[in-house]
């Protein structure tokens, strides 16, 4: 009869350890899922920022904008035809 109680105790211990392992696995899954959700949000925010920067770059390199900035901020102008000198080789 003592072997029977020993087996029953061992079975109970294995059951408790199995339950603890399942609970720990589920906890790890929840932690990993929360991290995944955080990383996906960060990815989405970075994609939005990247798109905004792409639009900003396209605006900044537009030739009409560059010409307008050269005229207004730098005082540049097209040369008069009389000021143009052609060099021949």
Q: Hunting for tokens 């959700």 — which residue is that?
A: 37
pLDDT at 83 over 90: no
Q: What is the DSSP code (8-state) at residue 87?
A: -
Exposure class string for 6-35: b at 16+ Cβ within 10 A, else e: eeeeeeeeeeeeeeeeeeeeeeeeeeeeee
Model confidence pLDDT, tens digit, residues 25-69: 999 999 999 999 999 999 999 999 999 999 999 988 888 888 888
Backbone angles phi, psi at 72, to 5 degrees: -80, -45
Helix (H) or strand (E) holding 30: helix 2-60
């Amino acid at each position: 009869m003592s072997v029977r109680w020993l087996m029953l105790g061992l079975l109970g211990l294995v059951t408790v350890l199995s339950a603890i392992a399942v609970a720990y696995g589920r906890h790890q899954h929840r932690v990993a899922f929360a991290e995944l959700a955080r990383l996906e949000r960060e990815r989405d925010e970075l994609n939005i920022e990247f798109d905004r920067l792409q639009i900003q770059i396209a605006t900044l390199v537009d030739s009409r904008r560059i010409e307008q900035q050269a005229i207004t901020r730098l005082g540049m102008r097209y040369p008069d035809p009389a000021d143009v000198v052609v060099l021949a080789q």
